[in-house]
Amino acid sequence: MLATKDKAEAGTDTAPIASAGRADGRDAFSLEVQSPDSKISDYLEQHLELQRYRQLDDLGANEVSRLMVAAESNARELLNTLGYFTPTLTLSLQETPEDKKAPRRVRVEVEPGPLTKVDKVAIEFDGAVADDPKDAAQRSGIRAGWRLPAGQTFTQSRWDGAKSTGIRALAAKRYPRARIKDSQADIDADAAKASLAVRYDSGPAYRFGPLTVSGAQRYDVDAARRIARLPVGQDYDEQKLLDAQLRLASSGYYDSVFLTMDTSEGVDPNAAPVTAQVREAPLQKVVLGVGFTSDSGPRVSMDHIHNQMPILGWRAVSKFSYDKNTQLLNTEWRALPDDSGWHWFDLGEIKRENNAGTYTVDSARIRSGRAKADGHIDRSVFAQYDYSMSKGVDPPPSASSLSINWGWTGRYFDNSAAPTKGMGLAVELGLGYTLLGERLPYTRAYGRWLGILPIGSVDTPTGAARRPRLAMRLEGGAVSAKDEAQIPQTQLFLTGGDTTVRGYSYRQIGVDADNGQILAGRYLGVASIEWQQPIVYDQKLTDYEGVLFVDAGSVADRPGNLQPKIGAGFGVRWRSPVGPVQADLAYGFDVKDVRLHLRFGFTF
């Protein structure tokens, strides 16, 4: 019976011993590992301590033989970490004077024996979590989520990972001072079984105390508390602390934010103070930007941010952007949130779209209402004025409207910048009234959904870091009104392009008029399915992924006239340090043409 107690994985230090090198340019010896499993051979060749001595210039056969004695013990330790506790090892030294790499070869033959399986697991708790009935679900969740259950192969890395996952789950709620009090893996090498035991000590339960702000000079400290909305008096929850930090960081008032709870000795756990260490953003700044998409070509933009407008004290963000399809100038003013997290906002915008169907649309928009961003959910309620004037051959008539709108967006992705799983859902509902021509009511509904589902695995010597995925996307919209209602073009639908239906140009899919024009329509339907496959090269997971996709979309003035236009193709994704870069080659079956689509970043 072999017992291991919090033992770190052996043999991971492979840094070579410094040496000037041999005069003939050859190593002192070469190493060859033979095993029925190539992964075992690769692992031993990479991690055996013997590798550190290959380049010593004065190492003879006798010295190599002495090193081989220690190498056998080292090899057994390494095999133990992989779950092989009864290996058969044969080490031999062969002279290879004609070999250009080394004058002798160390050969290690490995018969690994049976893999050790976990036989039973015992997870126990000490501290407040052990007896409190309200923690029953947390205790059960840690046991149910144990990552090395009975029947699985025992390895040192899996054992360490399972313990770490358990302590993170315990420390994430109520018990930030949780620790591993004791752990032990009893190995029955003859039976190839492992009995695991771990005991967690939760320490005392904590509640959020008052928030103090350190580093504030320019902006109101009380405003920071309202933005953070830390749930003072509630049980400690790591996610709630991160949410408060994210709200402060994304407010625009701070360049950096870091929240910590004081859990030191002597602090009352029932009111543990939280400190927000902030570095404030400048009062005003100008941001210049350039970009490129295959839909719109090069783009330049300029943003002006004023974090504390005179008199009002609101935050103003004004933007100008220009590309071949869209020229935009807008400004949005936002008040500080109240204690509930809601804030007032106003927006004014003028825009020209040069490729809205086959005509140009000049539009204006004024919006005023209330909004709230709460973690992964955004909400808004607002009144809006829209005006549009179309130019071109037989364009739609000018139109304007007033509407009352409600919007809701939920983002449930594992990573907001480059998600690998999760979903997003957005819904908009509006009730409007036209102001030009015959004055008539209308309703507008719009929704979009994106789901990313991991499927399968990618096998590498170090394990699967990213899984293949299926990304599914749906989008739909409807404007309901009498035929004679003059609806502003900005309230109607067009589709096609990099982010909708690939294989078609920007907003190329609309209502096909009798005169050959493409017009915005009252109904929209889009669906897409995409397979995303991480690329492995030389047994290593790269930052690239290959994709296959099929998109379909349609726009019509009546639901029964929706006829999907399909695009399909393949592409590549690069997970760059600053966000995903996407390149897709798609064929549009309706236009019978191939288009290259380029895009940077992810948004939902």
First to last CA, the chain: 55
pLDDT at 392: 80
Q: How, if at all, do strands 469-480 and 523-537 pair?
A: antiparallel
Fill in the amino acid letter for 45. E
Contact indicator for 50, 114 with CB cutoff of 8 Å? no
C-alpha distances (whole Å) from 568 to each of 574, 578, 590 are 20, 28, 11
pLDDT at 112: 93
Give helix 221-228 / helix 238-249 axis angle, nearest 10°: 130
Q: What token pair was written down for 219?
A: 């902006």
Cα separation, 269 vs 178, whole angstroms: 13
Task: Report pLDDT digits (tens) over 367-378.
Answer: 999 999 877 899
Q: How open is the CA angle 422-426-428, to the nearest 5 degrees?
A: 175
pLDDT at 7: 40
Contact indicator for 551, 501 with CB cutoff of 8 Å? yes
Cα separation, 289 vs 306, whole angstroms: 18
Contact indicator for 507, 496 with CB cutoff of 8 Å? yes
What count of Cα atoms within 13 Å lies in the side-chain half-sphere of residue 568?
5
Q: Spell out the residues 6+ positions from residue 181 whose beta carbon is closer than 8 angstroms to its own.
A: 126, 199, 200, 201
Task: Name the maximum alpha-carbon separation found in the chain.
Answer: 102
Q: Spell out the residues 6+ positions from residue 126 whose beta carbon is closer than 8 angstroms to its own.
A: 181, 199, 200, 201, 202
DSSP string spanning 97-121? TT-SS-SEEEEEEEE--PBPEEEEE
pLDDT at 12: 42
Binned average pLDDT, 10 residues per bin, the chain of 604 residues: 46 43 71 91 91 80 85 92 93 87 90 94 94 90 93 93 94 95 94 95 95 92 92 94 91 94 93 96 93 82 95 94 93 93 96 79 97 89 96 87 98 88 97 96 98 81 69 97 95 94 93 85 98 87 94 96 96 89 95 92 86
DSSP string spanning 323-371? -SSEEEEEEEEEPPP-TTS-EEEEEEEEEEEEEETTEEEEEEEEEEEEE
pLDDT at 462: 47
Q: What token pair was written down for 510?
A: 């609309």
Phi/psi zone of residue 508: left (φ > 0), alpha (ψ -120 to 50 degrees), beta?
alpha
Beta-strand runs (E) in 112-237: 117-126, 179-188, 193-201, 208-214
Kindly list the structural domains of the chain, giving each domain's residue range(s) and its CATH number in brackets, ordered by start.
Answer: 2-111 (3.10.20.310), 117-201 (3.10.20.310), 208-280 (3.10.20.310), 284-600 (2.40.160.50)
Three-class SS state of 223: helix
Task: Report pLDDT digits (tens) over 129-143.
Answer: 998 888 999 999 999
Beta-strand runs (E) in 172-325: 179-188, 193-201, 208-214, 254-261, 272-280, 284-293, 297-306, 315-322
Q: How open is the CA angle 534-539-540, to the nearest 5 degrees?
A: 55
Going 51 to 57 to 60 to 61, the CA torsion angle's sign is positive
Which residue intervals of 454-577 are DSSP H helices? none
Three-class SS state of 425: strand
Beta-strand runs (E) in 414-515: 422-434, 441-454, 469-480, 511-512
Contact indicator for 89, 72 with CB cutoff of 8 Å? yes
C-alpha distances (whole Å) from 485 to each of 166, 231, 402, 432, 435 are 61, 49, 13, 11, 9
Q: Spell out the residues 6+ positions from residue 284 whose beta carbon is closer than 8 angstroms to its own.
A: 304, 305, 306, 307
pLDDT at 602: 86
Q: What token pair was written down for 488?
A: 């502003």
Cα separation, 307 vs 260, whole angstroms: 25
Using alpha carbons, select from 349, 299, 304, 294 the residue that is nearest to residue 322: 299
Cα separation, 300 vs 106, whole angstroms: 62
In the block, tokens 């290593």 appear at: 540
Using alpha carbons, select from 240, 302, 250 the residue that is nearest to residue 274: 240
